[in-house]
Structure 1
Amino acid sequence: MTGEGASALAGLGAVGVERLSGITLPAPSAAERASSGLLGDEEPGAEKTTDAASPGEPLFDAAATADIQGNVIPGFNKDHQRFLFFTASEVEGARAWLRWLAPRLSSMQEVLDFRREFRRERLESGSSKPSKTAIWTAFALSRAAVLKLLGEQALAEMGDRAFRQGMAARSTYLGDPATAGAPGHSGGWRIGGPDAEPDFLVIIAADEKDELDAAASVVISEAAVRGVDLAFDQLGENLPGNLAGHEHFGFKDGVSQPGVRGTTDDGEDISPRYLDPRNPHSRIFGKPGQPLVWPGQFVAGWPRQNPADPLIPDEGPGAFPVWARNGSYLVFRRLNQDVPAFWDFVARAAGEHGTDPVRFASMLVGRWPSGAPVSRAPEADDLALAGDEFAHNHFQFDDDTRGWTPSAELSGAGYAGDAHPRARSDVFGDVCPVSSHIRKVNPRDSGTDFGAPGDTFLRLMLRRGIPFGPPLAGVRDPSPDLVATERGLLFAAYMTSIEDQFEFVMRRWANSSVQPNAGGHDPIIGQSNVHGERERRLRLHASDGGERDIVLEREWVTASGGGYFFAPGISAVTAVLAAPASERSGRDES
Structure 2
Amino acid sequence: MAAQTIKWDPNTTLEKEDIQGLLVRGYSKLPYASYHLLRFNDLLDTKSYLQKSIPQITKASTSPDDLAVHLAFTYEGLKYLSLPEKTLRSFLRQFKEGMTEKHRSFVLGDEHVNSPELWEWGGPSNATVHALLMLYAKDNGTLEAAQSQHHNLFGHHQIEEVRMLATETLPNLKEHFGFRDGISQPYVGGFSSKQHDANEDILPPGEFILGYKNWYDQFPDSPILETVEDADDLLPNHPNNHKVKDFGKNGSYLVFRQLSQDVSCFWKYMKEQTASASDGQNEAVKLASKMVGRWPSGAPLVKAPQADNGQYANDNDFNYWKEDFNGLKCPIGAHIRRTNPRDSLLTEKTDLESKEMVLKHRILRRGRTYGTPLAESMKTEDLMDAADDGKERGLHFICFVGDLIRQFEFIQNAWVKFHKFGGLYEDSDPLIGTHYQKDGHVTDTFTVPEEPVRKRYKNMPQFTAVKGGAYFFFPGIKALTYLSRP
Offset at residue 529 of structure 1 (A): 6.7
Tell me what 1:60 maps to: 13
State how far apart, in whole Å, the 1-side matches of 2:421 and 2:194 are. 30
Does 2:156 correspond to 1:225? Answer: yes
8 Å contact 2:260–2:394 — kept in the other structure?
yes
State how far apart, in whole Å, the 1-side matches of 2:173 and 2:53 are. 30
8 Å contact 2:180–2:298 — kept in the other structure?
yes
Greater shift, 247-256 or 531-540, is seen at: 531-540
Superposed, 1:88-487 pairs within 5 Å as 88-111=40-63, 133-149=65-81, 150-158=83-91, 160-169=92-101, 170-178=104-112, 183-195=113-125, 196-239=127-170, 243-262=171-190, 269-270=192-193, 272-275=195-198, 281=199, 285=200, 291-306=201-216, 314-321=217-224, 322-351=246-275, 356-386=283-313, 389=314, 392-399=315-322, 425-449=323-347, 452-473=354-375, 474=377, 476=382, 483-487=389-393
What per-residue deviation string (whole Å, max 9, x for no partner) do you get for residues 41-94 of structure 1? xx9xx99x9xxx877324335xx1111111111222331110011000111111
Equivalent residue letter for 1:488: G
Structure 2 gap segments, 5+ residues each: 225-245
Offset at residue 531 of structure 1 (A): 5.3
Q: 1:55 to 1:67 in 2, by over 3 A?
A: closer
RMSD between aligned alpha carbons? 2.5
8 Å contact 1:300–1:320 — kept in the other structure?
no
Secondary structure of 2:89 counterpart: helix
State how far apart, in whole Å, the 1-side matches of 2:429 and 2:155 are. 42
Offset at residue 530 of structure 1 (A): 7.4
What per-residue deviation string (whole Å, max 9, x for no partner) do you get for residues 111-161 of structure 1? 2xx5xxxxxxxxxxxxxxxxxx41101110001011111154322110x22
Does 2:385 correspond to 1:502? Answer: no
State how far apart, in whole Å, the 2-side matches of 1:534 and 1:95 are. 50
Offset at residue 227 of structure 1 (A): 1.2
State how far apart, in whole Å, the 2-side matches of 1:55 and 1:488 are. 35
Tell me what 1:549 maps to: 456
Q: 1:271 to 1:456 in 2, by over 3 A?
A: farther
Secondary structure of 2:311 counterpart: helix
8 Å contact 2:7–2:204 — kept in the other structure?
no
State how far apart, in whole Å, the 1-side matches of 2:84 and 2:106 are. 27
Identity of aligned residues (%): 30
Aligned length: 445
Tell me what 1:523 maps to: 430
What per-residue deviation string (whole Å, max 9, x for no partner) do you get for residues 265-308 of structure 1? xxxx4453243xxxxx4xxx1xxxxx3211111000111013xx
Q: 1:550 to 1:90 in 2, by over 3 A?
A: same
8 Å contact 2:189–2:203 — kept in the other structure?
yes
Q: TM-score, normalised by structure 2?
A: 0.85
Does 2:448 correspond to 1:540? Answer: yes
Q: 1:55 to 1:331 in 2, by over 3 A?
A: closer
Secondary structure of 2:23 counterpart: coil
State how far apart, in whole Å, the 2-side matches of 1:197 and 1:529 are. 30
Q: 1:146 to 1:517 in 2, by over 3 A?
A: farther
Structure 1 gap segments, 5+ residues each: 1-42, 115-132, 264-268, 276-280, 286-290, 307-313, 400-424, 581-590
Tell me what 2:232 maps to: none
Q: 1:528 to 1:58 in 2, by over 3 A?
A: farther
Q: 1:162 to 1:317 in 2, by over 3 A?
A: closer
State how far apart, in whole Å, the 1-side matches of 2:266 and 2:366 are. 24
Tell me what 2:474 maps to: 567
Tell me what 2:238 maps to: none
Q: TM-score, normalised by structure 1?
A: 0.71
Equivalent residue letter for 1:338: D
